[in-house]
Amino acid sequence: MPIVWFVVSMLGCARHAPHVERLPDAAVPVPAVPEGADAVLERGARLYRTASCVGCHSPPFDDATHLGGGRDLPTIFGVFYAPNISPDAENGIGTWTEADFVRAMRDGRAPDGRRYWPTFPYMAYTKMTDDDLHALWVYLEAQPAVATPSRPHEIRAPYGMPGMLGLWRSLAFRRGALEENAEQSGDWNRGRYLVEAVSYCDQCHTPRSALGLVKRRHYLAGGANPAKADVHPNLTSHPDAGIGAWSGADIVRYLQTAQKPDGTTSDAKDIMAEKVHDSFSHHTPADLHAIAVYLGAQPADAFDPEAWGLVKRRRRKLARQDDRDPEDADR
Ligand code: HEC
Ligand code: HEC
């Protein structure tokens, strides 16, 4: 059973998918940063965007950053719904303590001990600093309660089996904040933190083994969303296979605008363009610079995700499905 699909297929959301369903609109739209916000609140508001929470917990087709949940996240394992994480006591996390929140982010467990599905990318957020988790909590707490009930996931058999999550966690989940690498510069360390703990670029841009484990040997050398057979390009400094020909300024511009140095722009319907718009362009210029420094320091790797057997097989399968049932082609 390819657990690999289980993990990767859901890190992107599907705003553009034709069957995205909207939950009922929440009553209260929330400004990105309330007026007179203090530094911690502002930091939390920025993280809510740069760590992509907005992409899943705020409804599609809507830039308002309220927390009523909303995305349906169709995967080959079923459909997941990002829950309401507003301070509503009944429908959201209004009864939670800060310790409950930190446990969810750091351990991937609910207050009652339930393990979360990795559609909630806590394998990245576990690496965040205590300060950043605190800032996110302050931000969430400061938002108006939204009374939209969360929807139960619709998980296809046999993936709902209780053992599945435990298996995945024992193989792939390593709990704990990132440690500084004293041999590297401040920019490099900051860049790695943003790439791994906050914006989880590595989760999409690294290939995985059949068991769903990130292949460290090809770190950042390209990945795929097998559910849709989308390829995530190689980001190492290889001049042809990767982005070695891009300058630091090219990387920064791309993360702000989705424009590439060759004059093309990522398709607005593409997950990366959506993330640039909703999330990555909200990094500070200093942080974008740090990401560029960190990517520039990745050794050249000629790995080509387009040539990946897994992707090719999945494309053939989707093409066959397409012939049978055009309606279902985007899943
Ligand atoms: C790719 C989509 C995605 C992203 C990005 C994401 N989440 Fe979630 N989140 C989910 C899903 C799906 C669940 C439900 C997981 C489950 O039920 O096992 C969830 C669950 C949660 C929960 C637990 C809620 C509960 O009622 O138990 C919290 C808290 C949470 N997310 C906060 C965040 C924060 C904060 C961020 C950004 C730092 C974030 N999430 C980013 C999809 C996402
Ligand atoms: C949800 C999955 C996902 C995440 C997370 C993600 N990317 Fe991407 N990225 C993609 C996809 C898909 C493409 C292909 C789109 C295209 O090339 O137009 C892409 C394209 C790119 C490109 C263009 C490369 C080229 O050769 O054209 C760069 C650079 C990039 N991503 C950097 C990043 C960085 C840096 C991060 C983290 C801040 C990141 N990505 C996070 C999915 C992702």
Ligand 1 centre to CA of 81 (Å) is 9
Nearest ligand 2 atom to alpha carbon 243: 26
pLDDT, greater one: 315 or 83: 83
- Ligand 2 center–CA 232 separation, angstroms: 6
Provide mean pLDDT across the span 52-72: 73
Please determine, for residue 231, whether its predicted confidence score (pLDDT) is greater than 70.
Answer: yes
86: tokens are 């507003």
Residue 102 CA to ligand 1 centre (angstroms): 12
Separation between Cα atoms, residue 196 and residue 291, nearest integer Å: 10
Query: Can you tell me the mean pLDDT for 42-54?
Result: 95
Query: How many whole angstroms separate alpha carbon 64 and alpha carbon 49?
Result: 11
Q: Is the pLDDT of residue 206 over 80?
A: yes
Q: Are 143 and 30 in contact (CB under 8 A)?
A: yes
143 pLDDT exceeds 70? Answer: yes
Which residue minimizes the CA distance to atom 5 of ligand 2?
A: 201
Percent of the chain with pLDDT over 70: 82
Q: Measured on CA atoms in the order 187, 277, 84, 95, is the torsion positive or negative?
A: positive
Calpha distance 84→126 (Å, rounded)? 20
Report how far residue 230's alpha carbon sits from residue 9's, in angstroms, rounded to the nearest whole number: 10
CB under 8 Å to 196, separation ≥6 — which residues? 124, 127, 178, 202
Contact 208, 4 (CB under 8 A): yes
Residue 69 has pLDDT above 60, yes or no: yes
- Give the pLDDT score at 28: 31
- pLDDT confidence of residue 27: 31
Ligand (nearest to CA of 49): 1
d(CA 134, CA 41): 10
Tokens of residue 9, six digits: 């297929």
- Residue 152 structure tokens: 């139960």
With contact defined as beta carbons under 8 Å apart, do 143 and 57 qualify? no
Question: Which of the listed residues 15, 120, 136, 141 should we mutate to test ligand 1's pocket, taking the one with most ligand atoms within 8 A of CB?
Answer: 120
Convert the pLDDT of each residue in 109-140 to its tens digit: 999 999 998 889 999 999 999 999 999 999 99
Say what the pLDDT of residue 66 is.
77
Phi, psi angles (nearest 5°) of residue 206: -125, 135
What pLDDT does 165 receive?
83
- pTM across the whole model: 0.89
Which residue, among 64, 55, 59, has the nearest Cα to 31 in the 3D structure? 64
pLDDT digits (tens, 9 = 90+) for 274-323: 999 989 999 999 999 999 999 999 999 999 998 887 788 888 888 888 77
Q: Residue 53 to residues 12, 46, 166, 217, 227: CA-CA distances in angstroms? A: 11, 10, 24, 29, 21
Ligand 2 atom 14: residue of nearest CA: 232
CA distance 88 to 144: 8
User: How remote is the C-alpha of 22 from its chain's centroid?
Assistant: 20
pLDDT greater than 50 at residue 21: no
Rounded Cα gap, residues 266 and 263, in angstroms: 10
Work out the pLDDT band at 36, boundaries 50, 70, 90: low
Beta carbon of 288 within 6 Å of any ligand 1 atom: no
- Cα separations (Å) of 46 from 149, 198, 203, 281, 283? 26, 11, 21, 10, 7
How many Å from the N-terminal Cα to the C-terminal Cα in the chain? Answer: 19
User: What mean pLDDT is reported for the chain?
Assistant: 84
Query: Which residue type is seen at 72?
Result: D
Torsion angles phi and psi, residue 271, rounded to 5: -60, -35
DSSP helix/strand/coil, 1:
coil
Q: What percent of the chain has pLDDT over 90?
A: 56
pLDDT for 255 equals: 98
